Amino acid sequence: MSTMIASGVIPARKAKPWYNVLYVQVLIAILLGIVVGWLWPSLATNEWIKALGDGFVKLIKMVIAPIIFCTVVSGISHIQDARKVGRVGVKALVYFEIVSSFALILGLVIGNLVPIGHGLAAKPDAAAVASYVKQAEAQKSVDFVLNIIPDSVVGAFAKGDILQVLLFAILFGFALMTLGERGHRLRDVIDDTAHAVFGVIAIVMKAAPIGAFGAMAYTIGKFGPAALGNLIGLIAVFYATAALFVFLVLGGIARFVGFNIFRFLGYIKDELLIVLGTSSSESALPQLMEKLERLGCSKSVVGLVVPTGYSFNLDGTNIYMTLATLFISQALGVELSFSQQLTILLVAMLTSKGASGVSGAGFITLAATLAAVNPALVPGMAIVFSVDKFMSEVRALTNITGNGVATVFVSWWEGELDHDKLYANLNKTIDPSDIETAVTTG
Residues 6+ apart with CB under 8 A from 70: 190, 191, 193, 194, 197, 354
Q: d(Cα 424, Cα 230) in Å, to the nearest integer?
A: 46
Overall pTM > 0.85: no
Pairs from 43-50 (Cβ < 8 Å, separation ≥ 24): 43/221, 44/217, 44/218, 44/220, 44/221, 44/222, 45/218, 45/221, 45/222, 49/214, 49/217, 49/218, 49/221, 50/214, 50/218
**Average pLDDT of span 203-214:** 79
Beta bridge partners of 417: 297
Mean of pLDDT values over 249-273:
88
In order of their start, the domains of the chain are 46-441 (1.10.3860.10)
Q: How far is CA 247 from CA 62, 254, 267, 392, in A?
A: 37, 10, 15, 19
Distance CA 430, CA 149 (A): 54
Q: Give the span between the Cα atoms of 409 and 415, in whole angstroms.
A: 10
Torsion region of 119: left, alpha or beta (phi above 0 gives left; psi -120 to 50 gives alpha)? left
CA proximity to 248, closest of 345, 348, 106, 390: 106
**Is a pLDDT exceeding 70 seen at residue 131?**
no
What percent of the chain stands above pLDDT 90? 8
The alpha carbon torsion through 308, 311, 313, 319 (nearest 10 deg) reads 170
pLDDT band at 246 (very low <50, low <70, confident <90, very high): very high
Q: Is the pLDDT of residue 274 over 70?
A: no
Residue 99's nearest CA partner among 242, 249, 240 is 249
- Give the chain's mean pLDDT: 74
- Max mean pLDDT among 162-166, 220-224, 327-331, 372-376 falls in 327-331
With residue 127 as reference, give the H or E element that holds it.
helix 126-138
pLDDT tens digits, one per residue of 144-189: 567 778 888 888 888 776 667 778 887 888 788 778 778 788 888 8
Tell me the C-alpha to C-alpha distance, in Å, between residue 378 and each of 340, 342, 362: 15, 18, 15
Cα separations in angstroms, 280 against 177, 277, 355, 362, 395: 28, 8, 10, 10, 9
pLDDT score of 163:
67
Kindly indicate the confidence band of residue 135, based on its pLDDT and cuts at 50, 70 and 90: very low
Amino acid identity, position 23 = Y
Taking the C-alpha atoms of residue 158 and residue 51, their distance in angstroms, rounded to an integer, is 23
- Three-state secondary structure along 173-198? HHHHHHCHHHHHHHHHHHHHHHHHHH
Nearest partner of 110 among 410, 353, 323, judged by Cα: 323
Q: What is the pLDDT of residue 226?
A: 62
d(CA 287, CA 60): 30
Give 194-199 contacts, CB < 8 A, sequence gap 24+: 194/67, 194/70, 194/71, 194/74, 197/63, 197/66, 197/67, 197/70, 198/67, 198/357, 198/358
Each residue's pLDDT tens digit, 375-419: 777 777 777 766 666 677 788 788 889 999 999 999 898 888 888
Q: What angle do CA 383, 389, 393 make, to 5 degrees?
A: 135
**Which of 7-21, 115-129, 209-223, 310-324 has the highest average model confidence (pLDDT)?**
310-324
Among 135, 125, 137, 425, residue whose Cα is nearest residue 260: 425
d(C-alpha 133, C-alpha 129), whole Å = 6
Beta bridge partners of 297: 417
